[in-house]
Structure formats: structure tokens, C-alpha cells
Structure 1
Amino acid sequence: MNTLARSPWQADALLLLVTLVAAAGWIFSKEALAGMPPLWFIGTRFLLASAVLACFAWPALRRLPARQLYRGAAVGLLFSGAIAFWVMGLEYSDHLGESAFINSLGILLVPVVARLLFGDQPPRTTWIALPIALCGFALLSLNAGFRIEPSQLFMVCSALLFALLINVNTRVVRHLPALPLTTLQLLVVGVVLTTLSLLFEHEPLALSPAIIGWFLASALIASSLRFFLQVKAQGMTSPSHAAVILMLEAVWTALLAAVWFGESMTLLQLLGCGLIFTALLINRWYWVRKVLLRWLPR
């Protein structure tokens, strides 16, 4: 019996843990940014995370031919842009829950980008979900007084680049082993963004034991551990099934932000986030239904 057939519940449990760790990463990162410039924080975080993962991935990395290494590194450059917009959005964000839901639009935009750039035909549910998501984003913008805040714009740009990144990953480097590919991409992100920070960021570091602790939690738990568990879990189930469970990251982020920072949502924010999450469910309805059928008692 293959792995997919004999370990569905283990995969679901691991993916749920991944979403919780990823949501905690929003809290860790926001706290660390209180004492570190954003590009320096995310660059050094990914350098440390890639070093940890390299301990596991080094034998596989050494066996990769140069052509595959170049492809993985090139995709890492795209990852650098996506994560740079994300951390800038996080820096300016006053509401982590809202930012997490906006960033989750990247999942919805994956088939749209595939249609525009690669000619793929998205499922009908995508075209139903897209206007619902746009209405949700419009409500979030109305909450700011008929304007788009910088943090919202950064998160939308990040979502677009993450949608492009997922498409490129599945086409350009689909045959590369997941763990060495992840390690290589994190390393490229770390080198690129740390270099950009040295060139353009001039804010002084305000390091304290607490800031260092949040930084280490971001690198070791929210990056190294998160990606290690995600790679393992995704190897035990299908990509579409995994994507459905990973959508819960925005929900956990909003809940953790409410507990940790005392955040609350206005009615417009609740409606906007609710519409975005509804759009994500509609877009993945075939797989959502399969997940529900697996979880519900018979």
C-alpha cells in the first residue's frame, strides 16, 4: 500500500500543525521587527533557516546537476521578491489578521496566473470565487476610509508574486527533490535580501534578548521547522489536498493576533475577510469536499 493511501490522517495532522506554526510566524516576525529593519530581518532569518535545513539536505544538494541548481536559484530570486513585499507589508501592518487574509489571495490567483502566462484553463469555480474575493478586498479598503493602505498594497503584491512563484515551481523545478530545492531557495532569499538591506537600509539595530529570541523563533520554528514539516506532509498527500488545509493559516493568524496583540475586527473587516475566505473555499471546492468527507464521521 502506498504512502498516500495509508497515511491520510498523519498528513492532515502535520498540515494542520504547519498552519499553526506558520501563523505563529506572523507573531514572531512582527515582534522581531520592533528591533530590526525589515529586509535585514527577513534576509538573516532565511540565511539561518537555510543553514539549518542544509544539515538535512546537503547530500541531495551535492548530487544535483548544475542546471537544476541554476533553475532552483532563479526561482529563489522570484521568492525573494514575494517575501520582500510580505515583510514590508508586515512592517506597515496595524492588523495582522487582515494582512494574512489579503496575503492568502495568492492561493486564489494561482490558476489566474496560469491562465494569463501559460494558457492553462482554470476551473469554473475560479471565476466564481474571484469577484467574491475582490469584493472582500474592497470592504477591507473601505474600512480605511476609501483608500488602500500601504500594508494592503504590499500584501497584494506579495500575493501576486507568490501565485507566480507556485506556477513557476510546478513547471520549472517540478522534478527537483523538495527539501534541497527549499534549502536552495531559502539561501538565495537570504543572500539577496541581506545584500539589499546592507545597501539600502540604514536604520540601527535595536537588539535586546527579547528581539533576539523572536528572531530565533522566526528562523528556527517558523522557517526551518515549518518548511521541514510542510515538505514531509506534502509528500504524504496530493498538492491540492494540502492547499485546502494550508488555507487555514489566515484563520489561525487572525485568532493568534487577537489573543497576543488584542486585535479586534470591525464589521467591514470581518465581512471582507469572510468573503476572501469564502472565495478560497469556492475556488478549492472539489478538494474541500473531499477533505470534509474524510473528516466527517460516516
Structure 2
Amino acid sequence: MDSVHTDGSAVSPPSTGRVLFFLVLTTFFWGGSFLFTKIGVREVPPPFFVLLRFSLASVVMGLLCLPRLGRLNRQTILRGTIVGLALGITNLTFVVGVQGTSISRAGVINNLFVLFIPLIARIAWKDRIGGINTAGIGLASLGIALLAGGGGEGFNRGDMISTLCAFFIAIHIITVSRVLKDEDVWLVSFVQFCVVALMAAVITLVVPTPPFSLGLTSLATIIYCAILPTVVCFTLQNRYQRYVTPTQAGLIYTLDPVWSLLAGFAVLGERLTTREWYGCGLIFLAVLIPLGIRFAIERRLVFRYLHR
């Protein structure tokens, strides 16, 4: 169906190629955040890195939202705060996880959020997990076991925190779907970014921060993470994801760890052992196979609908 402007004129949806291009571009920027975060936290403590990233993102989003700020009400602030708390924990665990492991492993492990969502839904709302997701969880468990036995440190502290990050990514996604209704997504994102910055500020004040210097390299990483994976990716995702199904979007977003693997190999010189490759491959398949099966089912249902 064509979308409609507020003046009543019809607007044709973008082409499939354009939609796919910008959603893949989104995964590229997200994948790049692993590399730039890894470089940034070498100089800047993780909570301070998150504070600077989301403070800058809040300023940029606030400027973009200037025409909308008059519509900012108590309900939007409350709901934005709820999802912002989940987003804050997600990003704080993300930077600590990336700091403690390779971005190749972190990128693959973070994708486990796809499997955590049905698990959380099962625990919270007694939803059925299903055989497809159960098989995916089994594959992921085997992959983690292989990672635990691979590399110099096995399944290290950074890997465990990256797994926790995947859990909170799932929490954030579920929170957004359960809490947000008809709010202005731009204003909600602005509130979210402010909440994350405030959370990081509190942690920075409470937890002793070792001395550090903010150099040009770390400053560049903060600017990248604030603008591209945060503000720009938000815009692209909300602009184009509406034209694909959640399953199609999930399949596209599995490219995230591909970019982080390539960046780790090409820029940081990361090399995985054979055992680690098998472990990452199983985790990747654990996410990809359930999504692929759901996509095939969707296509079959659409085909039957069109040819009934």
C-alpha cells in the first residue's frame, strides 16, 4: 500500500533494492561500532565512552527533534525512560564485553539475542518456544562450548559479558514492542539517548575512573559511534524496516557479525583458531537457520494467498 503525506498526496514506497541497500548499510555501520568501540576503550574507560557517545547523540537528536519538542509529554518521557534503561544496560555491557574479547567473537555472540527473545517470552508470558528455536538454542550452546575450548583464554570474561549483552538486547527489543504504542519514535529515541547518557554519568561518578587522556583517535571513535550506529542507523532503520517483515529484517541483521569479523581480521589483525571458527559458525547458524525457516514459511504463505 502506498503511504500518504499529511496533505493527502500518495507517496510510492521505495524499491526493494533501495530498501535492502539501506538496511544492509545499517548493518555495516552497526558492525563498525565493534571496531571503533574496541579502539576507543583502549584509551577511554567504558562508562565514560558510553557517556560521551550518548551525550553527543542526545545533542544531535535533540537538534533534529526541535520541531517536535513541543509534543514531548509525560507519557513519552515515561515510556522513553523505560526503554532507555534497557538500552543503557545493553550499551554498558556492550562496551565492557568488546573491551574483554575480540570483536570477531563479540559480534557473533551478540547475535544470540535472536534466541534469547523466545526464551524470555517463554519465562515471562509462557509463550511456546517451538522446535525451531529449541534446535537453534542447542546449536548455540554447542558453539559456545567450542568457543570455551578455543583460543588462549577459552570462554573469557568478555565473552560472558557479550552474552549478557545479547540478553539485554533481547530485553530492549521486547520492551520496545511491549511499552511503546503510538509515540513519536524520534522523541522516544531522544529520551532514550538522554537516559543512557545519564546512566553512564552516574556510573562514572560512582565507580572510580582511572586516569586517561582523550586523544584524537578516541575522540574520532566516539563521534563515529554517536553519529553513525546511533543517530543515522536509527533513522535508516525506522525509514526502511517497515517495508520488510521482521523475519526478513532479522536475516539482514545477521550481517552484523560478518562485518565485525572482517574488521577484526583486516584492521586489528585478529585470527581465530579452527575451534573458534567452528564455534562462531555454529552460533551463526543457530541464529540463521530459525530465521531462514521462518522466512521460507512466510514465502509459502504469501504464495498460497496470492494463488488461492
Taking the aligned partners of 2:187 and 2:164, their CA distance within structure 1 comes to 27
Does 2:51 correspond to 1:51?
Answer: no
Residue of structure 1 in register with 2:85 after alignment: 77
Letter in 2 for 1:2: D
Residue of structure 2 in register with 1:296 after alignment: none
What TM-score do you get using the length of structure 2 for normalisation?
0.87
Q: What SS does the aligned partner of 1:217 have?
A: helix
Structure 1 ranges of 4+ moved more than 6 A? 290-293
What pairs up with 1:106-145 in 2 under 5 angstroms? 106-144=113-151
- CA gap of 1:9–1:174, structure 2 versus 1, over 3 A, is farther
Q: What SS does the aligned partner of 1:74 have?
A: helix
- How many percent identity over aligned positions? 26
Q: CA deviation at 1:119?
A: 2.4
Q: CA deviation at 1:61?
A: 4.6
Taking the aligned partners of 2:73 and 2:99, their CA distance within structure 1 comes to 38
Q: CA deviation at 1:287?
A: 4.7
Question: Which moved further from structure 2: 209-218 or 14-23?
Answer: 209-218
Q: CA deviation at 1:292?
A: 9.8
Does 2:30 correspond to 1:22?
Answer: yes
Question: Which moved further from structure 2: 243-252 or 209-218?
Answer: 209-218
Q: What runs of 5+ residues in structure 1 fail to find an aligned partner?
A: 294-298
Q: What SS does the aligned partner of 2:149 have?
A: helix
Q: Which of 185, 189, 202 is equivalent to 1:182?
A: 189
Q: Deviations over 1:67-101 (max 9, x none)?
A: 232021022112211211111111112x1111111
Q: CA deviation at 1:144?
A: 4.5
Q: What runs of 5+ residues in structure 2 fail to find an aligned partner?
A: 4-11, 301-308
Aligned residues: 292
- CA gap of 1:208–1:64, structure 2 versus 1, over 3 A, is closer
* TM-align CA RMSD: 2.2
What pairs up with 1:1-298 in 2 under 5 angstroms? 1-2=1-2, 7-93=15-101, 95-144=102-151, 147-289=154-296
Q: CA deviation at 1:44?
A: 1.4
Letter in 2 for 1:55: L
Letter in 1 for 2:287: L
Q: What SS does the aligned partner of 2:65 have?
A: helix
Residue of structure 1 in register with 2:6 after alignment: none
Larger Rg: 2
Q: CA deviation at 1:174?
A: 3.8
Letter in 2 for 1:142: G
